Amino acid sequence: MSDVRTVRAGRRTVELHRPEKVLFPAGDGDGSGKERSEGAAEAHTKAEGHAEAKAYTKADLFDYYRSVAPFMLPHLRGRPLMLERHPDGLDGPRFMQKDTPDHYPDWITRAEVAKQDGTVTHTVCDDTATLLFLADQACLTLHRWLSRTGRTDRPDRLVFDLDPAKDDFGAVRDAARLLGELLDHMSLPSALMTTGSRGLHVVVPLNGNHDFDDVRDFAKDVADTLAAAHPERFTTAARKEARGDRLYLDVQRNGYAQTAVAPFSVRAAPGAPVAVPLAWEQLDDPAVHARRWTIEDAVEQARTDPWAGVLRNGRALGPARRKLRALRG
């Protein structure tokens, strides 16, 4: 079999090199490339209802991103990216890539953004050809900015990351429902997404008129309100030692140059789980958990359009902030 496969993507031709290279080895593990103990692997398998993770190749990753591109690209276009690359698969080193290498094709969009003492030139994925080129570079996961090029200091997304202390999706369900009710009370639309790891993201569309400090302060106030109402279950403590067994309501992604995993991104974990948008009613399905979808079936979930226009009309935070203050007294 040839070590190079060529496909057309729009006006571009993209090559896939070494398509049979295994990126996701078979077996159950913790996502770090190291196998778990037999007992821990068995417990994980039973808890999530999965058989032992199967192996996936570079061609599998490439074909998945080719299939999901129509659903994924709207969430990527115009946003600087941080790329998580695993050239030798899960068993090899991981590279978190911000700067776009010089050898990347000139047709790939770039965004030069400010950083302390200089600038950095991020890759932007505006089309299917770019997404496939990144798959060929063994980019497993795409982490996106919450703002767009041209207005990088003004986010149009707010993200709550629901991070359980243990691999306990029941706690994540409870937190998501309570957070959703609180956001509804403030008349803020919200969308759910599995992380492909252990938790959920709750995404709120913004109108892009607030800076990152303002957005993060608001998110912290919301999280603090929820944690104060349920102090035995939730926390906003950044230090792990202070959290105990409580679920962490993480709002730290709402900062300049911070990123969140992009919808439909593959995660660097055994079985190739995918971060997948959910409809709120899917929380009631006992089969749903953070790693429920993989590269084998995530496209089927994408076709259901679970967010169905939720993110189209970004909101201002002023009215919501006033409602929150009234709620907190």
What are 153-187's pLDDT values in tens digits? 999 999 999 999 999 999 999 999 999 999 999 99
**Within a domain: 116:** no
Q: Diameter of the chain by CA atoms?
A: 68
**Within a domain: 9:** no
How many domains does the chain divide into? Answer: 1
Rg (CA), the chain: 20
**Within a domain: 250:** yes
**Within a domain: 171:** yes
Instruction: State mean pLDDT over 306-324.
Output: 95
What are 26-66's pLDDT values in tens digits? 986 443 333 333 333 333 433 344 558 899 999 999 999 99
**Within a domain: 317:** yes
Distance CA 149, CA 111 (A): 7
Answer positive or negative: Cα dihedral of 164, 43, 299, 72.
positive
For residue 190, the model assigns a pLDDT of 98
| Amino acid letter for position 158 | L
Confidence of residue 1 (pLDDT cuts 50, 70, 90): low
Which residue is it, tokens 């992380």? 195
Q: What is the CATH number of the domain that holds 168?
A: 3.90.920.10
115 alpha carbon, distance to own chain's centre: 23
**Within a domain: 232:** yes
> What are the tokens at 177?
């429902």
Contacts of 293 (CB under 8 A, 6+ apart): 194, 196, 273, 274, 276, 301
The rounded mean pLDDT for the chain is: 92
**Within a domain: 187:** yes
Contact in structure between 274 and 303 (CB atoms under 8 Å)? no
**Within a domain: 161:** yes
What are 67-99's pLDDT values in tens digits? 999 999 999 999 999 999 999 999 999 999 999
Instruction: State mean pLDDT over 309-326.
Output: 96
Query: Which residue range forms the structural domain that includes residue 321?
Result: 157-257+310-328
